[in-house]
Structure 1
């Protein structure tokens, strides 16, 4: 008996195959470098407090520096809305903590946001909703994704579901889209590993809310050290950038080539909370509010930390040869 193929059936099968084939891959976004091939972006974390705790002052300096550097975009390391995320897409906190605060002309660029643990205490889907982009076109928040900017790729990782203690009080967090947890984390780690392996960028930067290594109040995250760190080390990642600890810091350890950078000073900071076993590894620590900038060329990365008055607190750079010998 002859089989008659309906064009709609064929299209459905093809689309279905493509959907299955693409399942699990991280969504990708493209940023074009400047005409000279360079790239610049700001990093701020732990900020959403309706302008309180010097959030407005930090935002003003971010705008001034952002305009001066002609940044390509802004990175948020999470805890975007305190204390309990957003209640929905119509929550006034979105305007009160984001739209009405980051008004400087130097900040009218794309914002790439990850979720923090406080964001998971609210309606997670609200922050992920494209409806918010209609309210403010700068907003983009996903659980995990990749930004490809040719010379550098940024890999954003949803770190909150890794932390065991949050699951001891499950009613306090919105785990829709995460449960069952084990396969979620397993698939995420596979996706990150694959994306890093496939990357041909000169520089690789991984961004998450929780620190892998930190001297702040929360300190290092054991679950990330055990599960994520081996993957990013095996794939030659240059920087790991996080928030969560309300401070600015840079850690360089003898057992890893990765620079561990914290930018969690977007609003409320923790004074005096610092502890690290090897002082030589703690290259910089500031227990006040501020933010950081990252400038990238094919040959070099430059990182600068600023306080709420726009003063440079710390600078660090590293270089790679323009051409590698095979």
Structure 2
């Protein structure tokens, strides 16, 4: 049974209350797996362009694959609304880039969303507001939170505040830093909370989602701050997958010193051509400089990942298996 604290936090989120959380108290949400214990989901990132740059076409294929797989939920890796997030809860972009685009019956499932750097250029509180959940119950966007399922735990991490250049070299952009200052304390608490939550997780599979890249051959490449601060925590806690957007491509990089896999799904709309810095060929498993999305299928013994292009063609597949563990009586 969920703890009283868990029930209180969930109710607080739905009612719009704010809590200052101590270690290991990241907001948690339960999402039941299928009756057979399996879980199926889609991942898309960098999409919110009112249907332009093939966003509508990607959404169409997501609906087709989503129905075929009978998905349980959708994950967004951030940059949900271009070019500068939402102006408020009444911003028409919420309709024009989300509600009116992802209309397929199979996509009428829960969406779990992280914030990207473009989202931070708008009103962050509006994008996280329960008012949007009242408009469309699929929508859930918070800074950092956890989704617990029967065999996999998903840890959503707010990566934008880690990146120094947004603070030191904002250029002509304005960012909404309300709610994360002082920055040093915010990041320290986030890393401590994540580390403890990962340590306490008994899930077979541990999956971390953030907007920014840790390893990437794309234009943005390596995010140094995440390599220094976040990556050691993921490795120490034997995280299986780190899933991100930010680079507008589809990508799979393995890790030579741990089981951790780096998966980029940032092809939800505008993609970039060129500018690829090819990775170590022993680690670089797949790179597609175009639009698309990915699916993840999970059981107690296997994770199976598939990347699709804008036409729904399968571009790359990868799987990992683990042995069943049995409790000693």
How does the TM-score come out when normalised to structure 2?
0.91
- Measure how far apart 1:255 and its partner are: 2.3
Change (3 A) 1:104 1:132: same
Q: Distance in 2 between matches of 1:89 and 1:323?
A: 46
Q: What is the 5 A alignment of 1:71-86? A: 71-86=71-86
1:65-106 residue CA offsets vs partner (Å, 9 max, x unmatched): 011111110000000000000000000000000000000001
What value does the CA root-mean-square deviation take over the aligned residues? 1.5
State the partner residue of 1:23. 22
Partner of 1:172, secondary structure, is: coil
Q: Distance in 2 between matches of 1:22 and 1:224?
A: 22
- Measure how far apart 1:281 and its partner are: 1.4
Q: What is the 5 A alignment of 1:1-326? A: 23-24=22-23, 25-169=25-169, 172-323=174-325
Structure 1 segments (4+ residues) deviating >3 Å: 19-24
Q: Distance in 2 between matches of 1:131 and 1:309?
A: 34
- Measure how far apart 1:279 and its partner are: 2.1
Change (3 A) 1:238 1:290: same
- Measure how far apart 1:22 and its partner are: 5.0
1:6-43 residue CA offsets vs partner (Å, 9 max, x unmatched): xxxxxxxxxxxxx9995351000011110110000000
Q: Is contact 1:295-1:303 (8 Å) kept?
A: yes
Change (3 A) 1:241 1:86: same
Q: Distance in 2 between matches of 1:228 and 1:129?
A: 27
- Structure 2 segments unaligned to the other structure (5+ residues): 1-17
Change (3 A) 1:26 1:253: same
Q: Is contact 1:273-1:287 (8 Å) kept?
A: no
1:156-176 residue CA offsets vs partner (Å, 9 max, x unmatched): 000000000000256610000
Partner of 1:216, secondary structure, is: coil
Partner of 1:32, secondary structure, is: coil
How does the TM-score come out when normalised to structure 1?
0.92
The count of corresponding residues between Structure 1 and Structure 2 is: 308
State the partner residue of 2:10. none
Q: Distance in 2 between matches of 1:20 and 1:54?
A: 39
Q: Distance in 2 between matches of 1:218 and 1:296?
A: 29
Partner of 1:195, secondary structure, is: helix
1:33-74 residue CA offsets vs partner (Å, 9 max, x unmatched): 101100000000000000000000000000110111111100
